[in-house]
Amino acid sequence: MSKLVIISHTRHYYSQNREIVGWEPTIREINYLSKIFDSIYHVAPLYSGKAHQANASYNKNITYFPIKPTGGDGILKKLGIIFFMPFNLWYIIKVINKSDYIHFRAPTNLGLYVLPLLLLYKNKKKWIKYAGNWSEINPPISYRFQRWWLRKNILKSKVTINGNWKKQQSHLLSFENPCITDSEFQSANLSSTKKDFSKKLNLCFVGRLEPAKGALILFELINSLADVAWIGEIFIVGDGPSKTIFEKNINKKLNLTGWISREQLVAIYEKCHIILLPSYASEGFPKVIAEAASFGCVPLVCNQSSISQYVSNNISGILLDDLNYSNIASILLELSNNRSKIINLSNQIKSLGKLFTFSRYLRRIESEIINA
């Protein structure tokens, strides 16, 4: 019986019917991992807030173990990392002792004490996922420590990272984070062939509504567009501190959806022609790029981390070096006036999702980590 313990900072909540739920993209990935492990234990923080529609529940052979949420803005919240560390460590050790394999998801404040803890488990096979920007020049101190630790291979374990980089050591595996099934990919590609680019264009943003993710840039962009006759609808999918700005300045073409279910998100991808991600936050590779691309949505996305390794500028999308809203507005207007270009971009990007299927991910986990 193979037993895997996953340690992460994924937020969990109680649903209205008192079921434990967590961030759907992560829970979905873990549910698929349960196909190659007999049992999975997930150790992650439990929050007191309300669950939303972008949360999901676990498969039956997955057991959730709650720990105290720590970290955040302000000195008191940062001190909470130290205050709750004994309790969280006790819980983590308890669950590790039940498992055969250990999977830790970094970077997170938990990494400051979980990575050193894992040195004690030399006889258990381990792999670490570094989900952030591996090439970030000035990461936060805690992230820098964790990246240094993983780069030095102190744990003697495999580390999965976003993108391929110069002088990349053999224990660092370039891995695509899965987000779509084979059948979903085929269905999305079929949907893309029915998309009409000759009429009004629909735009979408999917992510947390905060300045670093480009929310304020989007707001300025929407308000600055003088000619909007070519735009059908603009979907803003997500929630966060910047949502109130959009609510106060509502635009007739703007749809603020909040967090929504996967089924609802698929319906938006089917409608949209362009996905906008003008983020200046530290990105690894946003899964939503691959998801939307499968539906033929042309990405207008920030040019950072490994994104340019998947999106070729003016070939399969538009890479934004200049995130000024006026620059993005001019690019959008150019695409509106050149429908043949946007069709070509859509046709080129829609195969991207093949790299992000769960089946491919599981094959690679088995061959390159478990059986390596």
- Residue 188 pLDDT > 90, yes or no? yes
Residue 251's pLDDT is 72
CA distance 5 to 39: 9
194/287 same-domain check: yes
Mean pLDDT calculated for residue range 215-227: 87
Residue 283's pLDDT is 83
Name the band, by pLDDT with cuts 50, 70 and 90, for residue 101.
very high
**Cis, bond preceding 107 (omega within 30 deg of 0):** yes
99/86 same-domain check: yes
pLDDT: which is higher, 79 or 234 = 234
289/202 same-domain check: yes
337/199 same-domain check: yes
Per-residue pLDDT of 333-356, as tens digits, reads 999 999 999 999 999 999 999 999
Predicted TM-score of the model (pTM): 0.94
Name the band, by pLDDT with cuts 50, 70 and 90, for residue 247.
confident
Q: Answer for the pair 230, 199: CB distance below 8 angstroms, yes or no.
A: no
CA distance 259 to 334: 31
116/100 same-domain check: yes
Name the band, by pLDDT with cuts 50, 70 and 90, for residue 186.
very high
Name the band, by pLDDT with cuts 50, 70 and 90, for residue 250.
low
Name the band, by pLDDT with cuts 50, 70 and 90, for residue 248.
confident
- Residue 75 pLDDT > 80, yes or no? no
317/189 same-domain check: yes
Domain holding 242: CATH number? 3.40.50.2000
62/190 same-domain check: no
Name the band, by pLDDT with cuts 50, 70 and 90, for residue 71.
confident
Residue 227's pLDDT is 75
225/169 same-domain check: no
Per-residue pLDDT of 274-318, as tens digits, reads 999 999 988 889 999 999 999 999 999 999 999 999 999 999 999
CA distance 356 to 261: 20
- Residue 72 pLDDT > 80, yes or no? no
- Residue 45 pLDDT > 90, yes or no? yes
30/154 same-domain check: yes
- Residue 261 pLDDT > 70, yes or no? yes
Residue 234's pLDDT is 95
Per the structure, the count of domains in the chain is 2
- Residue 118 pLDDT > 80, yes or no? yes
CA atoms within 13 A on the CB side of 152: 10
CA distance 30 to 63: 11
339/362 same-domain check: no
Angle at 98 between CA 94 and CA 104, to 5 degrees: 75
Domain holding 69: CATH number? 3.40.50
Residue 226's pLDDT is 73
101/247 same-domain check: no
Domain hosting 120: range is: 3-178+357-370
What's the count of helices (H) and strands (E) in the chain, helices before strands?
13, 16
Contacts of 120 (CB under 8 A, 6+ apart): none
173/212 same-domain check: no
